[in-house]
Chain A
């Protein structure tokens, strides 16, 4: 019996991609416009000083994603649904609004990423952002969401060039290794803003929703849990390896020469050791693809989560009439960010970083829901958290809260 027929290349490609698990996908999608910008700035403005944060949050990312997988396997529904069924309507509305703010922020970063990528070639954002927004809407509405998502995911493996680049630059790996385990902190606003953004772009509220929905949609079974757990850990490791190399690439090039990133072409220069003249084009391509990937996934993920929480009809097979809320949310999630990006003279780089700060600041609240769920025996049965998971999660939550509090205090008293 032949189970896989002789089929066209794209079906085979889809099959191969379908084997890639949620951990790697979610992790890869983490390296979006906000991600690459934040990591570039972390390296360009602060050298390797923030590597220890990256080192620690690799564990946080692994643990939080694993919790998402576990909740998905046990409850067989998305995070929004679990929150609704266990916390009532008020807290659900609270969680959903937080998620909406964070996601709108991230989508804004994605469209800013599109604008920034084309600004390298001198194209106006007033042209490229509306066109790409239309493209996103059109493909979501008419085309296949899943295929498109996979194609962009494939492209986003582009970030591997940063790893190669990292070796070409020949940075001081000894210094980098030392920075990984030496906590350094500057009690200044730029440092804290970048640090919270670094956390917020690595562990995201939407990532928490995404991984759980993914497990549910794929119909993964409890017996896959052990493999799935390692896959998630591996994904967290891989994504942060890439982040690590972005930081040391920018640290060894931009930081060394005291170049501050004010637009995308500055960030692109970090790739010059590898790509030379092509660095700008390569960077623009990578930024564009990563931005589009996020711009596809996030509005849809937001709409699905809202519909799950409030019981509205969802899915692209619904009609305009019955699915108007679903489509409405998607539209709003595209239109609002586009308007923000099109505000004249707004700094694209700042949008990309500050949106990650919003994610970082809101993250602890979403994680609190996750923690409450995963430690509830009525929901999780025997699959509640082990102490190690709780310790790492609580440290993450407390760490972000402390950093946010410090940022608030410093912005009040004015930084030195």
Chain B
């Protein structure tokens, strides 16, 4: 196994055994999902200049020396390449995302090897063994009690340097927003911001919701108003309300001014409720229907609003005066005949456990546990539905560290 740390600083000799210089860095071309192919060597020449030698000229890459195929005068040196990753400068000792493990690690070493006839970076050494090797004290562990732990290069995402959408591994984008949030919490703010920036606004909004409030605030400020506005727009109303409470009044106004008026109104309403009450927990994004609507009409309505909703488990039947009558579960909608009317389907609110905005957290928890509810409607004193508390809102309060 060849490691980067073993060849950096080695002598570079041409075919006439003349020393060209010392190996300073290795440049690779990295495409998501592939091993990174070595394309250039960065050599510090005897005169102290940085020269780029294309990898085609390399005969062998060894621990002591790098041998070139030609004599130095016959080698066409390359101009400073763009779009290449410098292994020593950009990867070694830097933070990197281990996508499979959904965590941030520091690169202790890189393993190199042949893959499909090409010299590539195969793995990232993140183990203590790698630290010992680089300190030159691997002999301290002759029985190899500390094992090498390599992360497959195809499963990592470098974060230093420009992070463009096309250089982000699709596996990373497929991670659950909560895992992505954990990764961002572990990265330094510059890299974390870049990662969020490289995500699509909707995805970024989900990730942002999962971040701890303190970091949410910092990140939003660091993203700048334009991008932040686009992301906040895609967040659910209750999350926006929570987020705005982190800011000073002036700053909150600035971000709210980026949203639609109807949205702002909802957010402002939510902010008025105490944090640990049903009102503070609830989400105001829900779908309501009229008792005279048919199932087909209702499903059409769901199709229309679904893209704006994080999740839908119930629709809420409301009469002409806005009074809440009762919920219909998606399951019942699915089972019912298309022509059936909602008034025949809903479960009457009188026989249901509902919440009041001022119910404290423990009362909400008790009610929802007692009646096995995934979600519960919050009814204000005038009988109108104010919002919906779902089990995930409650869980987050109960296990804030997760």
B189 in contact with A219 (CB, 8 Å): yes
Cβ of B275 under 8 Å from chain A: yes
Which residues of chain A from 1 to 36 have any CB-CB distance to chain B below 8 Å in the complex? 1-3, 5
Residue of B nearest to A90 (CB): B135
- Chain A contacts for B105, CB-based, 8 A: 311
Which residues of chain A from 39 to 84 have any CB-CB distance to chain B below 8 Å in the complex? 75-77, 81, 84
A1 partner, pick from B107, B218, B272, B401, beta carbons under 8 A: B272
Docked Cα-Cα span, A81 to B94, in Å, equals: 9
Cβ of A216 under 8 Å from chain B: yes
Docked Cα-Cα span, A75 to B160, in Å, equals: 12
A2 in contact with B272 (CB, 8 Å): yes
A-side interface size class? 20 to 34
A221 in contact with B135 (CB, 8 Å): no
Which residue, of A85, A93, A216, has the highest number of chain B Cβ atoms within 10 A? A85
Docked Cα-Cα span, A76 to B126, in Å, equals: 23
- Chain A contacts for B318, CB-based, 8 A: none
Docked Cα-Cα span, A85 to B89, in Å, equals: 9
A84 partner, pick from B104, B106, B217, B222, beta carbons under 8 A: B106
Cβ of B265 under 8 Å from chain A: no
Cβ of B262 under 8 Å from chain A: no
- Chain A contacts for B188, CB-based, 8 A: 75-77, 81, 216
Flag the segment in B31-39, B76-84, B244-252, B353-361 that touches A: B244-252
A216 in contact with B274 (CB, 8 Å): no
Cβ of A272 under 8 Å from chain B: no
Cβ of B338 under 8 Å from chain A: no
Docked Cα-Cα span, A2 to B241, in Å, equals: 12
Cβ of A89 under 8 Å from chain B: yes
B401 in contact with A310 (CB, 8 Å): no
Which residues of chain A from 83 to 122 have any CB-CB distance to chain B below 8 Å in the complex? 84-85, 88-90, 92-93
Cβ of B201 under 8 Å from chain A: no
Docked Cα-Cα span, A2 to B252, in Å, equals: 12
Docked Cα-Cα span, A2 to B271, in Å, equals: 8
A311 partner, pick from B108, B134, B190, beta carbons under 8 A: B108
Residue of B nearest to A221 (CB): B221
Which residues of chain B from 51 to 110 have any CB-CB distance to chain A below 8 Å in the complex? 92-95, 103-108
Least distance between A27 CB and chain B CB atoms (Å)? 24
- Chain B contacts for A84, CB-based, 8 A: 93, 106
Cβ of A317 under 8 Å from chain B: yes
B272 in contact with A216 (CB, 8 Å): no
A219 partner, pick from B108, B131, B214, beta carbons under 8 A: B214
Cβ of B268 under 8 Å from chain A: yes
Docked Cα-Cα span, A85 to B218, in Å, equals: 23
- Chain A contacts for B215, CB-based, 8 A: 219
Least distance between B84 CB and chain A CB atoms (Å)? 18
Cβ of A266 under 8 Å from chain B: no
Docked Cα-Cα span, A313 to B103, in Å, equals: 9
Which residues of chain B from 130 to 152 have any CB-CB distance to chain A below 8 Å in the complex? 131, 134-136
- Chain A contacts for B189, CB-based, 8 A: 76-77, 216, 219
B-side interface size class? 35 or more
- Chain B contacts for A3, CB-based, 8 A: 245, 247-249, 252
Docked Cα-Cα span, A77 to B191, in Å, equals: 10
- Chain B contacts for A5, CB-based, 8 A: 274-275
Least distance between A165 CB and chain B CB atoms (Å)? 39
B218 in contact with A89 (CB, 8 Å): no
Which residues of chain B from 346 to 402 have any CB-CB distance to chain A below 8 Å in the complex? 401
B271 partner, pick from A1, A89, A93, beta carbons under 8 A: A1
A89 partner, pick from B108, B247, B268, beta carbons under 8 A: B108
Which residue, of A76, A81, A92, A221, has the highest number of chain B Cβ atoms within 10 A? A76
A76 in contact with B190 (CB, 8 Å): yes
Least distance between A52 CB and chain B CB atoms (Å)? 41
- Chain B contacts for A75, CB-based, 8 A: 188, 190
Docked Cα-Cα span, A267 to B190, in Å, equals: 48
B93 in contact with A85 (CB, 8 Å): yes
A219 in contact with B218 (CB, 8 Å): yes
Least distance between A134 CB and chain B CB atoms (Å)? 23
Docked Cα-Cα span, A92 to B247, in Å, equals: 38
Residue of B nearest to A4 (CB): B245
Which residues of chain B from 106 to 128 have any CB-CB distance to chain A below 8 Å in the complex? 106-108, 126
A89 in contact with B93 (CB, 8 Å): yes
B249 in contact with A317 (CB, 8 Å): no
Docked Cα-Cα span, A81 to B159, in Å, equals: 15
Least distance between B129 CB and chain A CB atoms (Å)? 12
Docked Cα-Cα span, A76 to B135, in Å, equals: 27
Docked Cα-Cα span, A225 to B219, in Å, equals: 18
- Chain A contacts for B248, CB-based, 8 A: 3
Least distance between B72 CB and chain A CB atoms (Å)? 28
A89 in contact with B135 (CB, 8 Å): yes
Residue of B nearest to A81 (CB): B188
Docked Cα-Cα span, A3 to B256, in Å, equals: 14
B106 partner, pick from A1, A93, A311, beta carbons under 8 A: A311
Which residues of chain B from 192 to 243 have any CB-CB distance to chain A below 8 Å in the complex? 214-215, 217-218, 221-222
- Chain A contacts for B217, CB-based, 8 A: 219
Docked Cα-Cα span, A101 to B392, in Å, equals: 46
Given A1-B252, A3-B249, A76-B190, A88 contacting B93 (CB threshold 8 A): yes
Docked Cα-Cα span, A216 to B131, in Å, equals: 26
Residue of B nearest to A82 (CB): B188
Residue of A nearest to B248 (CB): A3
- Chain B contacts for A88, CB-based, 8 A: 92-93, 134
Docked Cα-Cα span, A88 to B88, in Å, equals: 9
- Chain B contacts for A85, CB-based, 8 A: 93-94
Docked Cα-Cα span, A330 to B78, in Å, equals: 50
Least distance between B185 CB and chain A CB atoms (Å)? 9
Residue of A nearest to B160 (CB): A85
B134 in contact with A90 (CB, 8 Å): yes
Docked Cα-Cα span, A90 to B133, in Å, equals: 11
Least distance between B127 CB and chain A CB atoms (Å)? 10
Least distance between B168 CB and chain A CB atoms (Å)? 20
| Per-position binary interface string of chain A over residues 218-256, scored 1 when its CB falls under 8 Å from any chain B CB and 0 otherwise | 010100000000000000000000000000000000000
Given A5-B275, A219-B217, 8 more pairs with CB closer than 8 A: A76-B190, A77-B189, A85-B94, A90-B134, A92-B93, A216-B189, A311-B106, A311-B108
- What are 17 of the A-B contact pairs (CB < 8 Å)? A1-B271, A1-B272, A3-B245, A3-B247, A75-B188, A76-B188, A77-B188, A77-B189, A81-B188, A84-B93, A88-B92, A89-B131, A89-B134, A92-B93, A219-B222, A310-B108, A313-B103
Q: Which 4 A-B pairs have the closest CB atoms?
A: A311-B106, A219-B218, A76-B189, A77-B188
